[in-house]
Amino acid sequence: MSVKSYSPDEVSVILGGAIVSGFADGESIKVTHNEDAFTLQVGSQGHGTRTKNANKSGRLELVLQQTSEANAILQGFLTQDRNSGNGYFPMLVKDNSGSDIHTAETMWVVKQPDASYGKEATNRTWILETDVMNSFLAGN
């Protein structure tokens, strides 16, 4: 059995053709599906019925350093969306040191992050959403 490796600098995030960089330390990229793929109902006699959920929506959370140029890119998408309703874009998150991949044809910024200022630089947490998230988790 061979040793497996993971390298955080090998994870790519591409939004509308722009490569995102300047991630904060720690967990800085989080991909979440909004609902379970299947639900279970168990009747009074203990028989179960599994129901497939058609909801494939999901969220992408990006925690960026205050100094990341990607803040301006995301702000631009949000401003365009507020002005014209056309601020959605394709998304790709790929672990190039493994096989995990997440895609969406239409993703948008849910809300502008909170901003705080202090003695040291802070982080900006961007929440993005899509109606259809495709994920393939195969690990490293």
Is 65 inside any structural domain? yes
Is 48 inside any structural domain? no
Return the pLDDT at 13: 98
Return the pLDDT at 94: 97
Return the pLDDT at 90: 98
Is 14 inside any structural domain? yes
Is 97 inside any structural domain? yes
- What is the total count of domains within the chain? 1
Distances (CA, A) of 12 to 4, 95, 124: 19, 6, 18
- First vs last Cα of the chain: how many Å apart? 13
Is 15 inside any structural domain? yes
**Burial of 40: CB neighbours in 10 Å, binned 0-12, 13-18, 19+:** exposed
Is 124 inside any structural domain? yes
Return the pLDDT at 140: 80
Return the pLDDT at 5: 86
Is 46 inside any structural domain? no
- Residue-level pLDDT, tens digit, the chain, 140 residues: 788 888 899 999 999 999 999 999 999 999 999 999 999 999 999 999 999 999 999 999 999 999 999 999 999 999 999 999 999 999 999 999 989 999 999 999 999 999 999 999 999 999 999 999 999 998 88
**Burial of 120: CB neighbours in 10 Å, binned 0-12, 13-18, 19+:** exposed
Domain that holds residue 20: 8-34+54-136
Is 47 inside any structural domain? no
